[in-house]
Structure 1
């Protein structure tokens, strides 16, 4: 696999940023220090594991209440799903769960939405080594510079608030732990500092919210397009866990069809079709071709997910491709939804837990339907850094 080659593990940093900071676009010691620190914090918080399940479940309760308030009327699911997923990241980073109408919450959510929309498609120009790109007074470069500056101001305010209230013996969240580690490393050559903290906050919001909410939006779209699949998922949930509670992580091994559906959604949705740009750290010869040091490398994950040599009838939505004849789940190495290699998504475990709990909770509580007389469903994606579904509306009908 191309991305597993060590010399292809570098990342093409955004030239508009002109930095080596944080996690996603960092290199060398900065990247190693912050990836290691972030994984340690995730372990301490129980992110991606059963111990973090209650945090996600609390957010799912708020999401369910927001959907129930629609009283069966049509709405755009992407908006509420985005708020729910984003709020989980807020609890990790800030130790705060916001209400969906909170001003600060909506402000930072808007930052990330604008950033994500403009980083794909035409936003690819931001990866080009064009001198003075950040100073272009119009278009995407100007907008992105403005958003990055405003987000940094927001992140700095959060850091300063944490510094005023921190209890070193009882860290609340990611920022507390970073501040504590920074103090412990003071006077050493550690790369942990406030500038890297601001960038790490942005990276984790970016990596942990957009792709997850986009995955769930595609999931709802496929369920209203294939009601027979939705019904089969609901039947499996009812049979395995009953009607008195929602699914837990412990139930996951006993829900093979539900897991197969999620895998097929990830394949068909192709949420990040080109991944993040990588860069060759050295000259590499691959299949007779020389890829020079410094070359930007894009992995065509869309092709992997739609290759007829890997998937029989790839255009079809067919969850059964992930089940054997006994109905047991089959894991396939080709489903590299979170990329692969050293630059695999750092929020992978959290995303898996969120998607599973949100998907099963929503389908256990509601039947998703297409509103009468609404436009035909479209599976044509909209490219940002993530491939989003075209806007659509649903009706969520409570299940008895």
Structure 2
């Protein structure tokens, strides 16, 4: 028989347990009730599974597919999976990644309505753990919408214009990169023979050097080991965040601190990129002449000094923010343009008759005695139409950069709660049979009118629309035109004998990249 005090203690324990259980039960019940009320009238979508939500519908990364023996080059892509969902639930539908609500916007009318008619609500960026860890929600691409972002975007846009973006004055810088690519192709084709070569690193280096000239005031040689390492680190960082087990950081952020595997590698990548870029900033600081800025970094440091001298309190202009701006320029300005150029060359080898037609137009207008110039653009409509058609079919950033609802709002008859992530499905716009004839067919002529002149389409939006439209749009257009026309003027590209083209749906990640492919290069005389 237990002593009387034991019975009393047990009673107290039971009462405490009951109280804790009651508090937890009613707290969870209240939270779920509030959540159901908050999510009332959201867009329709497939029923989510517990914990993981609809993760498997469109976000299962390739490492999971490989783990269970699936093909490394799947025939179904995330954007195709989303197209099937839109066919069932409509152009505005919902998915859940864990407990996070994702609203997918499909079609030009819906995306235009959201991003142009509701800019104050739908221009924010979500707090995605893996991205936040790498960017600290600073810079231009991933920073939240607000006065700090607006000031920095305006400053960067003006600075890039100062150094030639959108102007003929930048043309020599791009053509210098083109000349390097051409000389390397001539040299390497003799080394590789008929086996073909992968052009990824060569083109990536040329594109990145344009960013280097604008942002850092210097170019790096093709064989510069440190610069090549930096580009490799940036590519690897994106792969880890999007297409490896490190994506699980978005579900459980403490995984970032694990000392082994891809988690430890991600931290090493971040450390090495930080050391390289901060070293460049320090060098600029030590040699700064505010009256004669050499590049964007100089202009930013001069602006910092100007605001300090003016006694501006709580200025958001600081070296830490500058670091993330440079990172954004490199990642956004290198990966997208590099992949666009690779896609253009891939489509040329798959459609040699189009390649020949582009070359004939360039020969007639430009000739062989000089390289193409931006002043030739208006006289090369088929060439421009071909570049645009490749951009339409590939949509290098197929789901745009995720947006977020900054407050609860009504949209198209649904309630979009504050904090919901919005994915503008640009791929759906460019493959919409309602606005494009035979949308899955490569047909550059669709961008020409009856007189053979370039016909621009409002629903051609490879750089997005709204206040978050790609800041580097003008730069990318200049690079794509000059590099593509210059390469096709000088060389004919084909697949190595006996090889087939890679799958044309590409590799889905932060950007849509072509699967690795090799080309044989023949000088055109």
Higher relative contact order (CA 8 A, sep 6+): 1
**Equivalents in 2 of 1:378, 1:65: separation in Å?**
29
Q: Where in structure 2 are the equivalents of 1:73-92 lying within 5 Å?
A: 73=193, 74-92=196-214
Equivalent-residue separation in structure 2 for 1:3 and 1:123 (angstroms): 32
* Alignment of 1:43 onto 2:161: yes
Taking a change above 3 Å as real, the CA distance of residues 124 and 8 of structure 1, as seen in their structure-2 partners, is farther
1:167 shift after superposition? 2.0
Asked if structure 1 preserves the Cα contact closer than 8 Å seen for 2:215 and 2:295, the reply is yes
1:11 to 125, 128, 132: 125
Q: Offset at 1:61? A: 0.8
- For residue 242 of structure 2, what is the aligned residue in structure 1? 120
Contact 1:126-1:141 within 8 A present in 2 as well: no
Query: What number of residue pairs does the alignment pair up?
Result: 400
1:87-133 deviation per Cα after TM superposition (whole angstroms, max 9, x unaligned): 11111121111111102211211121112323435589478474535
Per the alignment, do residues 200 and 172 of structure 1 end up closer, same or farther by CA in structure 2, a change over 3 Å counting?
same
Distance, in Å, in 1 between the alignment partners of 2:437 and 2:246 is 32
SS of alignment partner, residue 70 of structure 1: helix
Distance 1:301 1:20, change over 3 A: same
> Which of 466, 471, 479 is the equivalent residue of 1:354?
479
Contact 2:139–2:324 (CA under 8 A) maintained in structure 1: yes
Which residue in 1 is equivalent to 2:342? 217
Go from structure 1 to structure 2 and tell me whether the alpha carbon gap of 1:123 and 1:55 turns closer, same or farther (over 3 Å shift).
Answer: farther
CA distance in 1: counterparts of 2:246 and 2:445, whole angstroms: 36
Alignment of 1:1-400 (within 5 A): 1=112, 2-4=114-116, 5-6=118-119, 7-16=121-130, 17=132, 19-27=136-144, 28-71=146-189, 73=193, 74-121=196-243, 125=247, 128=250, 130-138=252-260, 140-186=262-308, 187-188=311-312, 189-400=314-525
Q: Deviations over 1:64-96 (max 9, x none)?
A: 111111235310022211111111111112111
- 1:273–1:167: structure 2 CA closer, same or farther, 3 Å change rule? same
Which region of structure 1 is more displaced relative to structure 2, 6-15 or 211-220? 6-15
Q: What are the ranges of 5 or more consecutive residues in structure 1 without an aligned counterpart?
A: none
Moved more, 305-314 or 133-142: 133-142
Which structure: larger Rg? 2
Using the alignment, how far apart are the partners of 1:196 and 1:310 within structure 2? 41
1:24 and 1:361 mapped to 2: Cα distance? 30
Moved more, 124-133 or 293-302: 124-133
Structure 1 Cα separation of the partners of residues 289 and 392 of structure 2 = 44
Say if 1:116 and 1:386, in contact at 8 Å, map to a contact too. Answer: no
Deviation at 1:166, TM superposition (A): 1.9
1: distance between equivalents of 2:423 and 2:249?
Answer: 12
Partner of 2:188: helix, strand, or coil? coil
Distance 2:262 2:411 in 1: 35
Moved more, 186-195 or 173-182: 186-195
Cα contact 2:198–2:516 (8 A) shared by 1: yes
The 8 Å contact of residues 13 and 127 in structure 1, kept in 2 or not, is answered as no
